[in-house]
Structure 1
């Protein structure tokens, strides 16, 4: 059985997720697991797909970067699939389809996985350089400290007898932020 896995990082990439689902269905996948999750976070649907596949099945993805965050991570997944007797198929790898059932497929996958990791690392490097340049020019201030903006509200709710957990939930901030707001109350320094 062909089992598909589709992933995008954010909800704003819905069209990309739909395109992956369409391509996986067109490739003959009988079941497609889909999710919107960062590659570095937990991916429940990937875990479900890995649990679902059985010996003789093939896990199908449209691109390597939809599956793995690094070459090492990719080979961990391939190893886990191998242990179950499952192969991996990548539909769009440099214009070619690659299947890990063959030695040639494994070689090509390894080469392209290295390129994909290199490309990601270069992108992150360029991003860091851009942020450093923007900071030097005074154009980058970073994310607004939203929890600090709610410190007065946290202190008010605490004075009303609310617990730290209740305050955090009501304001949509972490418990640690509530504790910091209470520690920095005027007149406590």
Structure 2
């Protein structure tokens, strides 16, 4: 076993050295929140590709907006879409266009937006929940416009629930008011 370690002897003319450690206060607590790397330093994180490397050339297709001609463009085979095409011409296997929906949207019904019902319950039944129902019915229309059937279904169900709640609350308040007036007048 070794004994305790000793400092080397100090030569004549040397002063003893004092060593102290200072802790960095920035690393004593929790780390700072994550921030993405600076885009200017991305070349340091990801080195460039070597000279012989090339990406495979894949055709990029863009879906045209409404009124921009037939979909898909000529020469590009049809592919399954995540939403239904309504009112568009989708080519079949024989190349002849036929009106209809894609395979992804087959059998799905468009959800109802309940806009008229929302306006009516806002005016006649309950202002607060009626306005919220109007917001959700607008969200349903927007989701249908961009082809997001899942979001349209969720917003439609919320709108339906709010319209029903507003209607029942309005009926309850009306009946309660009539009963109150009758009791006050005749008792």
How would you bin the TM-score normalised by the shorter chain? under 0.3
Taking structure 1 as the reference length, what is the TM-score of the superposition?
A: 0.25
Structure ranking higher in strand proportion: 1
Using the size of structure 2 for normalisation, the TM-score is 0.25
